[in-house]
Amino acid sequence: MKLNTQIDEVARSASLCLKCNMCTYGEWPENYPLCPLYIRDKIYTSSPGGLIYLVRALLENKMEYTSDLSNLSYLCINCRACDDICEIIPIPAPHVRPTEIIRLLRHELVKRSLISNDFIKKMHEMVKKEGGFGKQQIDIKIPENMKNEDSKDILFIEGQYPKGQEQIYEVALKVLQKIGLDVYVYRNEGSCGADLYDLGFFNELKILLEKKSELINKIVGKNVIFIDPHTQEFVLKYWQQCVKTDKKMKGKHLSEIILEALKGSKIKAKKMEKVIVSYHDPCVLGRGLGIYDTPRNLVSFFEGVTLLEMKRNRRNSYCCGAGDGTRGKAFPEFSEWVAQERFEEFKETGADILITACPYCKEMFQRAVPTKEKTKVQDLFEFVNERIE
Amino acid sequence: MEKNKKRKKLSLLNEISDAIGKEKVKNDETVLVSYGFDSSIAPFQKPSLVVFPKSCEDVRKVLILANRDRIPITVLAGGVNVGGMCVPSENGIVLDFRNMDRILEINTDSGYAVIEPGVIFDRFTAALDRKGFKCHVPTAPGGATPLGNYLLQPSGSLANRHYDPIIALEVVLPDGTVFHTGSAAYPSDNVKYYRRYGPFPDLSGLLCCAYGTLGIITKASVRIYPKNESSRVNLTAFDDYGSATKFVKDVVGANIPEHCIIWSWQFYKTYDISLENVEKPYIPPELYLDPFTPPKGIPYNIVTTMLSGYNEVLDASESVCAKVAKKSGGRAISWEELEMISPGAARSWKEFYLDHHQPKMEHNKKYGLGRYSAWIGIAEPKDVVEVEKYALETVKQLGEGVRPICYYSQPFDFGRCMFLRMFVYTDPKNQELLNKIKNTYTEMYNNIMQKYGATPERYRRDPNMVRQLGGYYEILKRIKKALDPNNILNPGIGLFE
């Protein structure tokens, strides 16, 4: 979706929803339920289609914007299952996906000061004041050899991150050191914009991206490495819209770099005890960026590692409940319920470790699962770092 | 007056909540609005309550209260509706059956399944697949319900040999009466759902094509069929619909296929719509050409002939199909050739016929082209060829805004009559054009009825369609009076006033 798309432009798309509810479940013949909100409520209104019909109702003046719409729209956790399934809504211009229509709805509610959730309201106030979470940067020690701005590659680290995620970034730097890649660590100030986009803070996003214009045009064309899939997706897809030349944003997820290094023998795998793992597909890494195989191939590269799939995997995967990280705080009960359901599915596999490749997923699972189970959750880079020399 | 209305509404909400549990009753504005319309051209009408029953008893309790207060009830089996037949009445109650979605029995011995109204095709076909069985699959999306579809006399994958999928029903009337039809009516401790007809009048039939106006169905048995040793689809290309019809009539008359469908070229080309690049979806440009003139290499019609049974029989059947194709002026095409003509159709038809389920999204993409408006005519085989020409020409005259013009056609009941569904996609915001289409369709029905004795397949929210039936309608009204004297069952569609 173009960042300047307006809600009235999606009137045609919204009016074509068939109410078929197929946006809530996965591929035949398993037909696994995928939409967390719909699983919880089991009413049409609490489905992507239901929210789209509410947008249609607003555009056709069948109802007024109210704060009741706010919670419902933010309870959509942004897992993108519907985006991946529905092939009706994007056909007419402006070719939007269901969650993009829901974001446009949020934006209209934000414009009208109709946010009902206290956490999101506070976030909006802060963003308005400080402009995309101010100048916050990640608080980790950057090795000296990763401070050279002229390096060939850039490791992009988001500044707006929840406390507790530092460990993942530190480990990622260690892995990169082992690979010996000539990389410059760019610590973004505040937000890249992904969370503002998801929350419908479009006015603030516009200001943020204008401020970042110089940076955007500086990094375009360079090889950018990402750890957080949310940042990766937003930078590659939406910063691109702010590029003033015909250069393309280029980027890879760190898992792709590590796998290449292992295959090219730039790093060596250690011999470790046998372990059974299961991989949780982060929604944005999978559905957003289409990266399903690399993390699996990476995990399976190590001798003694057995990978067992959860019943819902790849395109049919189920969210951890974190959304972009904000849902876990805005709707903790709901998010934890989603995470617990997913963790139960992991337990059904009989695996020892649940691996994920998104800092928000790890944080969400750690929060929702019982204390004695917390050590079972690992980030992909932590898992890899333990296994390479 | 307004206060009184509000009090009454609140009291009904409380009473229904007390009767069946408040978690099953919703009256939030967001819920009511989202149930007020659908993807058909039916007008927006906001209900006052949406109820999610979990049992026949829940339905019975709601009906008794609604009947007492004469509150209109509209039923949604799954809610997919392109015909505008289940849009609620203003201030009425919607009964949404999505939480009554159990597959109660799959009887592979007799060949039927007992299901609740909320069971969707995707779950049903998957469950049958695991048992080596299949069911009648329509071109509706996999999220539609078998019961909702079958009660309308469906037009899907098995209709030429197995015309009517409904067997026995469990029905609730507004006064709270619950009754069963067919073999399920017998007072046995071991109630069976295997038989529909006899020894008394067929009450299942009374409920079919009643659009929820004569009783609310809470359980049904439907016909299912073994997948057999093998299934194959024979593909035959034709340059004109008349030859395709001749072929279909011949092979069906010889009891060769389990089912045949004649696909128009603009219909099967919709399967090639691609969203590989979401920002620039691929829409085949052929969809906007003259519907009578396909480009070179694109057959005007392709007939899919589904064969199912023992391999020895299928080998012989394929030879017969090739022979009849030649005789009828058609030519057999291979799957490889179909891949070249329409890769999307090749992909979809394999799923549709060989896996016996709706392709996940292949069926649905075409709905993104615009507001869907369908016209369905049923005629004897000798007449349907003229009906196709007339309908295609008439719809074409509606202009460039009514494109593409798709159709499919198939023999019902061993070819006693031919079904022809034509459908178009238009700008959903162009109300004037939508009205023009509606009026043209009415005129088309009248013309084919006068000229060929052809009939419409379904009611279209046009009361005149039933009013013109004279004595038939009078009898129907008497039945309605007996079953639903207060006319609370789906009155919004205007079948009874």
Q: Which helix (H) or strand (E) holds B268?
A: helix B265-270
Place of tokens 């609370």: B488
> What is the pLDDT averaged over residues B26-34?
96
Q: Do residues B60 and B178 touch, judged by C-beta distance below 8 A?
A: yes
Q: What tokens were used for B277?
A: 């690049």
**How many contacts (CB atoms, under 8 Å) link A and B?**
151
> What is the pLDDT averaged over residues B231-260?
96
Q: Does A289 touch chain B (CB under 8 A)?
A: no
Q: Does B132 touch chain A (CB under 8 A)?
A: no
Chain A interface, best mutation among B24, B28, B30, by max A CB count within 10 A: B30
In angstroms, the CA A362 to CA A377 distance is: 7
Confidence of residue B76 (pLDDT cuts 50, 70, 90): very high
In angstroms, the CA B177 to CA B28 distance is: 30
Cα B68 vs. chain centroid, distance in angstroms?
A: 32
Q: Do domains A144-259 and A268-387 have the same CATH topology?
A: yes
What are the strands of the beta sheet with A153-157, ordered from one edge? A183-187, A153-157, A223-226, A250-253
Model confidence at B245: pLDDT above 70: yes
C-alpha closest to that of A186 among A230, A148, A132, A240:
A148
Q: Do residues B371 and A15 touch, judged by C-beta distance below 8 A?
A: yes
Residues of chain A below pLDDT 50? none
CA-based nearest distance B33→chain A, Å: 7
Determine whether the interchain pair B78/A56 forms a contact, defined as Cβ–Cβ distance below 8 Å. Answer: no
Confidence of residue B360 (pLDDT cuts 50, 70, 90): confident
Q: Does B47 touch chain A (CB under 8 A)?
A: no
Q: How many CB atoms lie within 10 A of CB B242?
A: 17
In angstroms, the CA B27 to CA B15 distance is: 13
> What is the pLDDT averaged over residues B466-489?
96
Determine whether the interchain pair A63/B29 forms a contact, defined as Cβ–Cβ distance below 8 Å. Answer: yes
Out of A20, A21, A29, whose CB is closest to B129? A29
Q: Does A28 touch chain B (CB under 8 A)?
A: yes
Kindly identify which residue of chain A lies nearest to residue B39, measuring between CA atoms.
A18
Relative orientation angle of helices B241-253 and B381-396, to the nearest 10 degrees = 150
CA-based nearest distance A163→chain B, Å: 36
Determine whether the interchain pair A20/B30 forms a contact, defined as Cβ–Cβ distance below 8 Å. Answer: no
B2-97 carries CATH number 2.40.50.140: no
Average predicted confidence (pLDDT) for chain B:
94
> What is the pLDDT averaged over residues B119-142?
95
Confidence of residue B127 (pLDDT cuts 50, 70, 90): very high
Q: Do residues B174 and B144 touch, judged by C-beta distance below 8 A?
A: no
Cα angle B114, B116, B117 (rounded to 5 degrees) comes to 130
A268-387 carries CATH number 1.20.120: no
CA-based nearest distance A288→chain B, Å: 12
Number of H helices, E strands in chain A: 19, 8
* A343 exposure class (CB count in 10 Å sphere: 0-12, 13-18, 19+): buried
In angstroms, the CA B159 to CA B144 distance is: 18
CA-based nearest distance A170→chain B, Å: 36
Q: What tokens were used for B89?
A: 């009445």
Domain boundaries, chain A: 7-116, 144-259, 268-387
Q: What ipTM was reported for this prediction?
A: 0.95
Q: What tokens were used for A244?
A: 């003033």
Kindly identify which residue of chain B lies nearest to residue A27, measuring between CA atoms.
B360
C-alpha closest to that of B209 among B485, B472, B497, B488:
B472
Q: Which of residues 88-107 of A touch B (CB under 8 A)?
A: 88-92, 95, 97
> What is the pLDDT averaged over residues B119-131?
97
Q: How many CB atoms lie within 10 A of CB B443?
A: 11
Chain A interface, best mutation among B27, B34, B137, B363, by max A CB count within 10 A: B34
CA-based nearest distance A221→chain B, Å: 22
Q: Where are the alpha helices (DSSP H) in B69-120?
A: none
Q: What is the pLDDT of residue B401?
A: 93
Amino acid symbol at B204: S
Peptide bond connecting A48 to the previous residue in cis, omega within 30 degrees of 0: no
Q: Which CATH architecture has domain B229-367?
A: 2-Layer Sandwich (3.30)
Determine whether the interchain pair A20/B141 forms a contact, defined as Cβ–Cβ distance below 8 Å. Answer: yes
Out of B52, B279, B358, whose CB is closest to A95? B279
Confidence of residue B198 (pLDDT cuts 50, 70, 90): confident
C-alpha closest to that of B364 among B425, B314, B307, B420:
B425
Q: Do residues A153 and A181 touch, judged by C-beta distance below 8 A?
A: yes
CB contacts, 8 Å: B429 with chain A:
11-12, 15
Domain boundaries, chain B: 2-97, 103-226, 229-367, 370-458
- B103-226 CATH, one of 3.40.50.720, 3.40.1260.10, 1.10.260.40, 3.30.465.10: 3.30.465.10
Determine whether the interchain pair A45/B278 forms a contact, defined as Cβ–Cβ distance below 8 Å. Answer: no
Cα B205 vs. chain centroid, distance in angstroms?
A: 16
Kindly identify which residue of chain B lies nearest to residue A68, measuring between CA atoms.
B30
In angstroms, the CA A44 to CA A19 distance is: 8
CA-based nearest distance A68→chain B, Å: 7
Dihedral sign, CA of A48, A54, A56, A58? Answer: negative
A7-116 carries CATH number 1.10.1060.10: yes
Q: What tokens were used for A359?
A: 């800092």
Q: Do domains B2-97 and B103-226 have the same CATH topology?
A: no
- How do strand B49-51 and strand B73-76 relate by DSSP bridges? unpaired
Dihedral sign, CA of B396, B400, B401, B403? Answer: positive
Output the CATH code of domain A144-259. 3.40.50
Q: What is the pLDDT of residue B290?
A: 96
Top-level class of domain B370-458: alpha beta
CB contacts, 8 Å: B280 with chain A:
95
In degrees and rounded to multiples of 5, residue B426 shows phi and psi of -135, 170
User: E-strand spans in B41-134?
Assistant: 49-51, 73-76, 93-96, 103-107, 112-115, 133-134
Q: What is the pLDDT of residue B1?
A: 62
Q: Does B54 touch chain A (CB under 8 A)?
A: no
Kindly identify which residue of chain B lies nearest to residue A16, measuring between CA atoms.
B39
B405-435 confidence digits (pLDDT tens): 999 999 998 899 999 999 999 999 999 999 9
CB contacts, 8 Å: A28 with chain B:
122, 125-126, 142, 355, 357-358, 360
Q: Does A85 touch chain B (CB under 8 A)?
A: yes
Q: Which of residues 362-421 of B touch A (CB under 8 A)?
A: 364-365, 367-371
CB contacts, 8 Å: B355 with chain A:
28
> What is the pLDDT averaged over residues B204-222?
96
Q: Does B90 touch chain A (CB under 8 A)?
A: no
Q: Do residues B460 and B375 touch, judged by C-beta distance below 8 A?
A: no
Q: What tokens were used for B289?
A: 């050409």
